Amino acid sequence: MTGEEVKDLTEKYVMKTYNRLPLVPVKGEGARLWDENGKEYLDFVGGIAVNSLGHSPARVVDAMYEQARSLMHVSNLYYIESQARLAQLLVENSCCDKAFFCNSGAEANEGAIKLARKYAKNKGNQDKYEIITALQSFHGRTLATITATGQPKFQKGFEPLPEGFNYVPFNDLDALKNAVGPHTCAIMLEPVQGEGGVNPAYTSYLEGVKSLCRENDLLLIFDEIQCGMGRTGALFAYESYGVEPDILTLAKALAGGFPIGAVLAKEKAAAFGPGDHAATFGGNPVACAAGVAAVESLLEENFLKKVNESAGYFKKKLNELAQKHDQVKEVRGLGFLLGMELNIEGKDIVKSCQDNGLLINCVNGNVLRFIPPLIVRQKEIDTAIDILDKVLAG
């Protein structure tokens, strides 16, 4: 099938929920993609922070193949070996004690919301159901998670929205303190806001949030869907801040490119009992086998050290571009979740970069977002910087 045929079929039969760029990828390896015409691209979108180990990493692909040959799916009515192994890996390398598996980030955040409410009810707090989230946050596309998302543009047209959410400015501890009320059961934050413009939390802010939760018997939920799994240079983003959540949500890079989501919780917050929550495909044997391979890769000696070194180099080079080009207002972010805020619209920059063989994207209209595979090499970073420099000068 030609690229044009793929585009035509998509336009005819697929709901138009994306403004797609005119690109039909047919092959990926490492940090590179090739389209139907054989043109090569450096991929600094990475499936939106999914392909952390690059495209089709051999260890993950082999694990999926071996698992699919023996058992592709079985119900959670039974015990699943790869699910148990992945839960063990995540718990033993995090601050949490239990895991629940689902299929996506939105599902993971739905699970966290339910878990927080269930925790409050189990403690006899029948009137506690409200969760405070941050403005410019993004937590998913289901009805509950778009309501948790502190951006009205994602909520428009889907009213009435579920009740039980309150929003405060990010990194503003006083506003958060003032928002806590008799119905509050939890605070839900992204350590680094991705879709909201690549906004990292201040360490002092998260430390203050933790103290506030402790003082008011609130659960602290960290949404690490985008910023977790090595993206900030630590296995989990909370480790980059030294602040432990009670509930942690994961997805995107968890299985190296295969769909999966997870809710991790400390023992006190693991309030679900049989029948309280479920997912038919959650903890699927193939997804969990991929997850085991991906997490083990991240845990290899010196892997995250190299991520920190490469990410530091990339941020330094981006800051050099910021000094050189008047269109750039600021470079910010953590690890390999970096943003370059412009004083102009970013869509034309994204298109020009694509034309020159570099895939990036833009959030909030004017923030170029860079989320390359964690295995990206220095010479590939240099190539990306050269392309971006050329485009900004253009």
Q: Which of 298, 320, 345 is the last residue of a domain?
A: 298
**Is the same domain home to 108 and 172?**
yes
According to DSSP, the β-strands at 25-29 and 32-35 are antiparallel
Q: How many domains does the chain have?
A: 2
**Is the same domain home to 44 and 162?**
no
Tokens at 44, concatenated: 């600094």
Mean pLDDT, residues 15-23: 93
66: in domain: no
Rounded distance, CA 382 to CA 378, Å? 6
**Is the same domain home to 240 and 284?**
yes
**Is the same domain home to 243 and 373?**
no
**Is the same domain home to 260 and 138?**
yes
**Is the same domain home to 322 and 381?**
yes
Q: Cα-flanking dihedrals φ and ψ of residue 259, to 5°?
A: -65, 130
63: in domain: no
DSSP 340-368: EEESS-SHHHHHHHHHTTEE-EEETTTEE
Strand order in the sheet with 261-265: 98-102, 261-265, 247-250, 219-223, 184-189, 130-134, 165-168
Task: Please name which of 364, 300, 299, 308 lies closest in space to residue 334, comparing C-alpha atoms.
Answer: 308
Which of 44, 100, 101, 138 is catalytic? The answer is 138
Which of 223, 236, 272, 336 is catalytic? The answer is 223
Confidence band for 352, pLDDT divided at 50, 70 and 90 = very high
According to DSSP, the β-strands at 337-342 and 328-334 are antiparallel
Rounded distance, CA 216 to CA 128, Å? 12
**Is the same domain home to 230 and 321?**
no
Confidence check: pLDDT of 347 > 90: yes
**Is the same domain home to 274 and 331?**
no
Is 252 an active-site residue? yes
Q: Which of 298, 320, 346 is the last residue of a domain?
A: 298
**Is the same domain home to 51 and 179?**
no
Q: Any idea which residue has 């240099």 for tokens?
A: 382
**Is the same domain home to 240 and 364?**
no
Which of 252, 266, 315, 317 is catalytic? The answer is 252
Question: 158: domain CATH number?
Answer: 3.40.640.10
Is 7 an active-site residue? no
Confidence band for 94, pLDDT divided at 50, 70 and 90 = very high
Rounded mean pLDDT of the chain? 97
Give the pLDDT confidence of 246-302 residue by residue, as tens digits: 999 999 999 999 999 999 999 999 999 999 999 999 999 999 999 999 999 999 999
Residue 388's domain comprises: 3-56+302-393
367: in domain: yes
DSSP 7-64: HHHHHHHS---S---S--EEEEEBTEEEETT--EEEESSHHHHT-TT-BS-HHHHHHH
Is 8 an active-site residue? no
Rounded distance, CA 359 to CA 116, Å? 38
Confidence check: pLDDT of 309 > 90: yes
| pTM, 2 dp | 0.97
CB-based contact 251:353 (threshold 8 Å): no
**Is the same domain home to 329 and 247?**
no
Give the pLDDT confidence of 53-80 residue by residue, as tens digits: 999 999 999 999 999 999 999 999 999 9
Label residue 224 exposed, middle or buried (CB < 10 Å: 0-12, 13-18, 19+).
buried
**Is the same domain home to 222 and 164?**
yes
Burial string for 293-307 (b: 16+ CB within 10 Å, else e) reads bbbbbbeeeebbeeb
Tokens at 310, concatenated: 């490469």
End-to-end CA distance of the chain: 35
Q: Which of 298, 333, 362 is the last residue of a domain?
A: 298
Rounded distance, CA 100 to CA 111, Å? 8
Residues in the chain: 394
Give the pLDDT confidence of 207-245 residue by residue, as tens digits: 999 999 999 999 999 999 999 999 999 999 999 999 999
DSSP 185-245: EEEEE-SEESTTTSEEPPHHHHHHHHHHHHHHT-EEEEE-TTTTTTTTSSSSHHHHHT---
Question: 317: domain CATH number?
Answer: 3.90.1150.10
Confidence band for 394, pLDDT divided at 50, 70 and 90 = confident
